[in-house]
Amino acid sequence: MTDRPASPGPVACVIGWPVKHSRSPVIHRFWLRQYGLPGDYVIHPVAPEEITGFLAGFADGPFVGCNVTVPHKEAAFAAVDEVEAAGRAIGAINTIWREGDRLVATSTDGIGFLANLDEGAPGWDQAAGPAVVLGAGGAARAVLWALAERGFAPIHVVNRTRDRAEALAARFGSAIRPAGWDALPDLLGRARVLVNATSLGMEGQPPLDLDLTGLPEGCVVTDIVYVPLETGLLAAARRRGLRTVDGLGMLLHQAAPGFEHWFGRKPEVTPALRAAVLRDLGVG
Ligand code: ATR
């Protein structure tokens, strides 16, 4: 069952299956309230066998747009009329909006990642050089796009399953260098930025145990995991005196482009929004 919209005006939603744990309503409802805008953002479960029909009928439905989460990212990519460049490069979409009678989509995860680092570690990309990314899943794809956008090279992709890292090299080109965990001590010694894009260190998952001794002084360390907010990786980097950026800001910033498309106002990521989402997560 879809949540009932709380007020008249444009309504956007998040589609997925299951989707009830999505934090997106907290973020968008916070902004709607903050700016005094009419409208709402609701959770709308769509079963896998219903996704094609749901998107085919979108123009006649009640929603101005939606976020897309698992398992619909591929089906939605194929079903919309246009995918913007970032979505095509990343190979996934998470945000859909209407332009006239057309459905347009993109992935905002990469720009969310960049905005989070720009805010949390200003100047982090000024001396773009080698980067190390742990993981080669969907989140890693957005991170690689983002780092390549800012000129980082080479980007070493370290993943348990080597084939997945190789596939990313084929997608993103020669700046991407697949590597195994055994190469890390050497790679970390030259890293300007270190990103955890695996699920390691997340609550309920195995820890991410890395020796950060070799990281250069200027290296910035960030994690896409935000529960806990300070992961073991970030705590170790902070103890070493390195600049760290937690993963919550990526979640908040990736929501902003959708809000602007649907509700017509560019929203801000503020400490009050962060606090509201942390309360909802029961973290912090
Ligand atoms: P997401 O879309 O969030 O990136 P994913 O596609 O399932 O999720 O990717 C999870 C990432 O965490 C992958 O890089 C995965 O490594 P594999 O490709 O080898 O599966 C990594 N990961 C998850 N659990 C891991 C573990 N116990 N040890 C090492 N890497 C792990």
In this structure, the chain runs to a length of: 284
Report the catalytic residues: 73
| pTM of structure | 0.95
The predicted pLDDT at position 283 comes to 80
Domains and CATH numbers, the chain: 11-107+251-281 (3.40.50.10860), 111-246 (3.40.50.720)
State the number of CA atoms in the 13 A half-sphere of 5 facing the CB: 16
Q: Which amino acid, one-letter code, is at 119?
A: E
For residue 2, what pLDDT is reported? 62
Around ligand 1, the residues with Cβ closer than 6 Å are: 135-140, 159-161, 164, 198-200, 206
Rounded-to-integer distance, Cα 270 and Cα 104, Å: 28
- Residue 120's pLDDT is what? 98
Q: Identify the residue whose C-alpha is closest to ligand 1 atom 11.
A: 198
> Which atom of ligand 1 is nearest the CA belonging to 165?
18
Please identify every stretch of the chain with a pLDDT value under 50, giving residue numbers as ranges. none
**CA nearest to 169, candidates 180, 182, 181, 178:** 178
Nearest CA to ligand 1 atom 7: 137
Please choose from 113, 157, 162, 198 the residue to mutate so as to test ligand 1's pocket, defined by most ligand atoms within 8 A of CB: 198
Distance 200 CA to ligand 1 centre (A): 8
d(CA 135, CA 102) in angstroms, rounded, equals 35
Contact between residue 144 and residue 121 where contact means Cβ atoms under 8 Å apart: no
Distance 270 CA to ligand 1 centre (A): 30
